[in-house]
Amino acid sequence: MSSLGKQKLISICLFGRNDNYMPDFLYRMETTINFVAQSVKRLGRLDDIEVIVLDWGSTTPLSQALSLSQEATSICRFILVRAEEHGKIPVCSALNIAIQRSRGDYIAMCGADALIPTTSFQAIFNVIAGNSSIKSPEKKYFNCGRHVLPHEVVESQPDIDAWQRFLRLNSWKLPKQSAYGGFLYGNAGFLLMHRDVLFEAKGLSESLNYGWGWNDIDLTLRLLHKYQWYDLGHEGFILYDMEHSPTEGTRVKEVKEKPPHFIAASVTENGQWGLVDYEIVEQCSAYRANSGSQVEAVSSKRCSVEPEDMSRVADFLVTYQKHVAWCSASLQEQRAMVYLSAYARVSCQIPKLLDFNSIHGLSVFFFASLFPWGEIYSATNWKRIDDKSGPHEFSKILGSNYIGHQGYLSVLSGVTQKSLDDYWYSLKDDVTTFDLIVIRDQPTDSLDVTALIERLSKSAMMIVFPQNDHDRVAVNSAITSASSSELSVHQDESGFMVVTKGIAFSNTSDMDFSSSAPLQVEPSELDQYLAVVEFCERVKKLKSEKRILWGLGSVGRIVFDLIPTPVAIVDNGLYAKGETSYKGVPLISTSQIGEYEIDSILISAVNHYEAIYQEAKHYSSKIERVFF
């Protein structure tokens, strides 16, 4: 044992510096350490774990800058290297210093922005204790890939409890980056091995100190000379890695440089390792009550309606009308969405929406496009269930590429006060308040509006589409009887009511959709357009692109722009007028079809279809057309 002190079962080695890397490094590291401590505490095994943080040259040491829990403070050791604060960190040397001073029988390395749940530590303890199918764990090299935590969520800087809740609701759908071949393609989420194995390898190769990547691949290649690798995922280990948004900070460009790539001939790489010509000081972190790393709440800001909000609504409606068309986009709906957009511009949260009768409005779909990881709770009276309506189609549309919702969805079928009371009871462990509530097509005397207002979070908004004056009176009465003094109500000129708590809107009278909103599409026109899109998507999936397009009218020109370029176009009318090509594709007559080697004919002509179909059969056995 090369470091004095009480021996541990596992040492987790991290490194970093107190600068603006990414630029939320402090939040990421303290969250990582606090999460580890909470996970291990639940198993009652804090004495078996240590976290070693190698601090490379911070002016204000990480031990003083991080807000750690009492449990995290008890397991964390800081090693400060006196070095220049600015410039590159020698990654491999930094980790090697931490490894040399570790006290664990097993040594782990991971990023300083990873969440390791309790079940993962239990899996490691089982493997080390021999309570798994893996024999002789002290002679193995363990690793694991990582599940990606979306940067939209990371940027809102959830605390530990909020992260636990997010994982509880959403971990099943997070994308995974696998450690294929034992990290031969990178994605090093977690490395673990007995200290004897890592010390035989003499740690990470210090010739790869500067740059991004290859050091984990190099270590894998060296260890595979003597030791078999296993992915701990088989034993139930999971690691969640915090995704980065477009890179920021002073060190990013330097870090992203690639180091030289070479193949080592044996397990051992370094000579003397883990020792540098700098003064090294070990420090402890004093527990300080966490003042909260949450980003400033929306309640401290005013929500001002801006032109960009109307543009955002207009852009959404273009996509919506092309691909969804669940219900019409009335002027009232458009104005309500502007309020949602203004809220989104100042919100740093992953908000929770309670939406009544979602099938009759656009708020839930627009919310999903604004907050891909937002939580949706829909209470809806389904009037019909078929292939175009119902909760199954509702969830399908929300998760489509056009809307892009990826967060938690819960649907209550049937809205009565009794069903809502039961619903609240089922959610009580996870949901007590909502950030956004939308009530439509629901008489207020069928709901306890006061109770709904009490469920608004500290910075929240409720939009009510009253059916009559009685509903307006009921909402105002509920506000008067509510316990909060931070409520205000605004009557939009189009008829709906906006109740806010802790926030205030301005410039709402400046909404002008005359230039930004898309033209309304008649249902019949929309059906025709959707038919073309659906047909072209089906055509694109065909393996062969040797096809002839028959007909270059209005529909044919749309089809031409959406499908792979055909070998020729049949249009007898244009051919008779002397036209020979369209966008570089030959225009031909029916008699010339035989000159082309084709696999299919697409008929886009609307008139005289039967006659065209009978003639086309002479040239190809595969005939398709656009159905409206």
Q: What count of other Cβ atoms lies within 10 Å of the Cβ of residue 477?
A: 13
Task: Indicate the domain borders of the chain.
Answer: 8-283, 298-510, 523-625
pLDDT of residue 1: 42
Contacts of 59 (CB under 8 A, 6+ apart): 18, 85
Ramachandran assignment for 325, one of left (phi > 0), alpha (psi -120 to 50 degrees), beta (any other): left
Burial 232-249 (b: 16+ CB within 10 A, else e): bbebebbbbbbbbeeeee
Closest among 460, 458, 500 to 479, alpha carbons compared: 500
Q: What count of other Cβ atoms lies within 10 Å of the Cβ of residue 388?
A: 9
Q: How far apart are CA 378 and CA 413, in angstroms?
A: 8
pLDDT of residue 619: 86
As a three-state string, the secondary structure of 370-416 is: HCCCCEEEEEECCCCCECCECHHHHHHHHCCCCCCCCCCEEEEECCC
CA distances from 495 to 353, 464, 468, 472 (A): 21, 9, 10, 10
Q: What's the first-to-final CA gap in the chain, in angstroms?
A: 77
pLDDT of residue 380: 87
pLDDT of residue 187: 67
Q: What is the DSSP letter of 121?
A: H
Contacts of 179 (CB under 8 A, 6+ apart): 143, 144, 145, 187, 188, 189, 231
Q: What's the CATH code, domain 523-625? A: 3.40.50.720
pLDDT of residue 186: 64
- Report the predicted TM-score, pTM, of the whole model to 2 decimal places: 0.75
pLDDT of residue 387: 64
Q: Do domains 298-510 and 523-625 have the same CATH topology?
A: yes
Q: How far apart are CA 587 and CA 101, in angstroms?
A: 77
The residue to which tokens 């499908």 are assigned: 563
Instruction: State the 10-residue block means of pLDDT for the chain, 628 residues long.
Output: 71 92 88 98 97 92 94 95 72 92 96 96 97 95 92 92 94 86 71 96 87 82 92 93 70 58 75 69 68 44 82 85 70 90 82 90 92 93 70 88 91 87 89 93 80 90 90 87 80 90 75 51 55 60 74 82 85 87 91 88 79 85 70
Q: Which CATH number fits domain 8-283: 3.40.30.20, 3.40.50.11720, 3.90.550.10, 3.40.50.2020?
A: 3.90.550.10
Q: How far apart are CA 520 and CA 167, in angstroms?
A: 41
298-510 belongs to which CATH class?
A: alpha beta
